């Protein structure tokens, strides 16, 4: 179709109406048939259930609306006015036309105006446009058959109008094909690459298809979500979406080392103060709150301290001030449901348990839709006041009309737009595979980790075992309250021999990998004081629960006997003199 028409639908229509040659229109119908098959295959494989609130729960695909017809008419008028499409202008440019550069400049201006005007047009006429929905029971297979049947009926009268001998030409040799492609058809594929690259940039910059599916997989029961390129980006964006220079957040001291460094240094350089408090005393959050406090931050199951955060208590305090609670639930997906206990925002590193295999990097921010950002508008000026970076939009007013959460809309449209950190399509695909097995994996992680914790508690070289099953008092009460189905896959051991024994133990392990990741199918071990928390001072390390002799284990899915056997042989080396190792 594209070769015959030089990418120009104007030529196709002209040939059919004036010349009586329907081959171009047949090419269009063929392309639509191929597109229908591809659309159904992709959506059937990656999006088995509609993710966005714009789709009715009993519908799969909306095939047509008057907006598409209007868009087609507008496109045809544009082609008529310009005399051709991008590729046609390139052909004329190659032939020496002096008007072609002007036409190409006009095309570029048209693309720019289209990008700028799209939000207005979408809100004004597209978002609420009536759509004819195919019934749910047809499914994707039925959709394919219906669509292909309609296209086939349209093709029948065109086939009858084919000129005699239209299909009589024989096949071309490879040399002729290459000559036509690279010597005569170069404006066609160059124009196609130019137009396609615009779509590719928009696709990769915001949310490609796999990323949308990944968002839905993580946030299916939540209000809205944003997928990002890493968990660290998710932690940063969760704050930057609602805090600016002069503001502050109140954070738990029980944090992953990378998050602590982000808060204590990077955000501070941006003018955002982070006030650290001990979560063992929930009232400490209230005492640290003032009129410029924008959020509370904590980790559900802090890595590596593993003392479960008092979610409901701190969330209630936050509600009394109009301050949302942001919780990093990376270490306890499926086991903990922070949104049900009052958290407003949940952050994940998709790299860890959700991905589950140490093969991909990603992050996510989830807005549970349970926090009223307008109840205390002065608390959240970035959401309740005009955003000068986006034509003065007020996110709490505009976002609900589009069916998205204001917080996520601001994070996506302002912070992600400017800083990037988009999740790649391939990482999204791999993370989707991991999410499918999360319930089975997290239970196995938990069972194995609890068995390792019991074994470590019997070892004379271990001063203390850090795991919820080994805790008591209020910390254990919170673990049992907020975790359901297990305590997660992390276990810590504080060794009597300090940093020296920590290094010796890790060097002696054979089954365990020495990797800073957690949540992998493989068992991992690391010495936080010299790695993940190595950039913190000794006082800061102590505040996060890290000592010189602390070793963190991320227990994998191997057979528990193999895991214990490796630990036994590694601990045996601690009893040997240094020279004997």
Q: Tell me which residue range forms the domain holding 139.
A: 2-164+171-209
pLDDT at site 63: 43
Counting the structural domains of the chain, the total is: 3
Domain shared by 377 and 239, yes or no: yes
> Which of these three, 435, 461, 481, is where a domain ends?
435
> Is 305 in contact with 279 (CB distance < 8 Å)?
no
- CA dist 127 → 119, 123, 216, 401 (Å): 10, 6, 20, 9
pLDDT at site 534: 78
> Which of these three, 209, 235, 265, is where a domain ends?
209
> Which of these three, 181, 209, 237, is where a domain ends?
209
Domain shared by 493 and 459, yes or no: yes
Domain shared by 189 and 302, yes or no: no
Domain shared by 371 and 505, yes or no: no
Give 561: exposed, middle or buried? Use CB within 10 Å, 0-12, 13-18, 19+: exposed
d(CA 22, CA 20): 6
Give 563: exposed, middle or buried? Use CB within 10 Å, 0-12, 13-18, 19+: buried
d(CA 211, CA 226): 9
pLDDT at site 158: 84
pLDDT at site 134: 67
d(CA 436, CA 83): 51
pLDDT at site 473: 92
d(CA 50, CA 365): 20
Domain shared by 532 and 387, yes or no: no
Averages of pLDDT over runs of 10 residues in the chain (581 residues) are 46 73 78 71 49 40 48 52 58 68 72 63 61 64 81 86 61 60 57 55 47 52 79 97 97 93 95 97 97 98 93 96 97 94 96 94 93 95 94 92 88 92 88 90 96 96 95 94 95 92 93 94 92 82 85 97 97 76 49
Find the CATH number of the domain harbouring 551.
3.90.1150.10
Domain shared by 190 and 294, yes or no: no
pLDDT at site 394: 95
* Beta strand 325-328 pairing with 345-349: parallel
pLDDT at site 146: 84
pLDDT at site 56: 41
Question: Kind and range of the H or E element at 259?
Answer: helix 257-261
**What are the tokens at 377?**
């508008």
**What are the tokens at 106?**
């006009």
* Beta strand 345-349 pairing with 363-367: antiparallel
Domain shared by 541 and 411, yes or no: no
Domain shared by 542 and 555, yes or no: yes
**What are the tokens at 496?**
């009597």
Cβ density class 344-361: b for 16+ within 10 Å, e for less = bbbbbbbbbbbbbbbebb
**Coil vs helix vs strand at 57:** coil
**What are the tokens at 229?**
């390129």
Domain shared by 400 and 525, yes or no: no
Which ranges in 515-559 belong to alpha helices (H)? 538-544
What is the DSSP code string of 143-167? HHHHHHHHHHHHHHHHHHTPPTTTT
Domain shared by 151 and 222, yes or no: no
> Is 263 in contact with 243 (CB distance < 8 Å)?
no
Find the CATH number of the domain harbouring 371.
3.40.640.10
Domain shared by 217 and 194, yes or no: no
What is the DSSP code string of 167-203? T---PPPHHHHHHIIIIISHHHHHHHHHHHHHHHHHH
Domain shared by 519 and 539, yes or no: yes
């Amino acid at each position: 179709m594209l070769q015959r028409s030089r990418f120009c639908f104007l030529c196709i229509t002209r040939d059919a109406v004036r010349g009586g040659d329907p081959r171009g229109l047949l090419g269009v119908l063929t392309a639509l048939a191929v597109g229908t098959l591809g659309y159904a295959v992709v959506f059937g494989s990656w999006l088995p259930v509609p993710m966005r609130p714009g789709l009715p729960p009993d519908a799969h695909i909306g095939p047509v609306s008057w907006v598409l017809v209007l868009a087609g008419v507008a496109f045809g008028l544009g082609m008529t006015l310009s005399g051709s499409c991008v590729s046609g202008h390139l052909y004329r440019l190659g032939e020496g036309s002096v008007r072609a550069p002007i036409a190409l400049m006009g095309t570029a201006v048209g693309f720019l105006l289209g990008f700028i005007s799209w939000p207005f047009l979408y809100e004004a006429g597209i978002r609420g446009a009536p759509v004819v929905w195919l019934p749910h029971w047809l499914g994707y297979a039925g959709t394919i058959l219906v669509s292909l049947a309609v296209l086939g009926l349209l093709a029948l009268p065109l086939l009858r109008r084919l000129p005699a001998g239209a299909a009589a030409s024989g096949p071309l040799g490879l040399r002729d094909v290459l000559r036509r492609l690279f010597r005569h058809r170069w404006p066609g594929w160059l124009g196609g690459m130019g137009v396609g690259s615009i779509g590719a940039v928009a696709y990769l910059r915001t949310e490609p298809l796999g990323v949308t599916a990944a968002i839905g997989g993580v946030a299916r029961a939540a209000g809205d979500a944003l997928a990002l390129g890493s968990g660290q980006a998710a932690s940063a964006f969760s704050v930057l979406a609602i805090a600016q220079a002069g503001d502050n957040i109140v954070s738990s001291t029980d944090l992953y080392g990378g998050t602590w460094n982000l808060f204590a240094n990077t955000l501070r350089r941006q003018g955002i103060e982070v006030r650290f408090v001990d979560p063992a005393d929930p009232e400490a959050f209230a005492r640290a709150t003032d009129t410029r406090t924008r959020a509370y931050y904590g980790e559900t199951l802090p890595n590596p301290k593993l003392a479960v955060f008092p979610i409901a208590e701190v969330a209630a305090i936050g509600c009394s001030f109009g301050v949302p609670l942001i919780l990093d639930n990376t270490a306890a997906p499926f086991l903990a449901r922070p949104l049900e206990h009052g958290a407003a925002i949940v952050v994940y590193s998709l790299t860890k348990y959700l991905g589950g295999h140490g093969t991909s990097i990603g992050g996510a921010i989830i807005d549970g839709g349970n926090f009223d950002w307008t109840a205390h508008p002065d608390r959240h000026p970035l959401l309740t006041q005009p955003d000068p970076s986006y034509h003065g939009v007020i996110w709490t007013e505009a976002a609900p009309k589009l069916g998205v959460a204001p917080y996520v809309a601001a994070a996506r449209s302002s912070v992600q737009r400017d800083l990037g950190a988009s999740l790649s399509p391939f990482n999204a695909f791999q993370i989707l595979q991991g999410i499918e097995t999360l319930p089975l994996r997290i239970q196995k992680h938990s069972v194995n980790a609890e068995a390792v914790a019991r074994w470590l508690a019997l070892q004379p070289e271990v001063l203390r075992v850090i795991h919820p099953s080994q805790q008591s008092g209020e910390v254990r009460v919170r673990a049992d309250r907020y975790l359901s189905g297990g305590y997660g896959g992390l276990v810590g051991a504080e060794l009597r021999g300090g940093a020296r024994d920590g290094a010796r133990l890790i060097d002696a392990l054979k089954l365990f990998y020495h990797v800073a990741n957690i949540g992998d199918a493989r068992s991992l071990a690391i010495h936080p004081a010299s790695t993940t928390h190595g950039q913190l001072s000794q006082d800061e390390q102590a505040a996060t629960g890290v000592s010189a002799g602390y070793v963190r284990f991320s227990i994998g899915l191997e057979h528990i006997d193999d895991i214990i056997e490796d630990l036994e042989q590694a601990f045996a080396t601690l009893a040997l003199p240094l020279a004997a190792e």
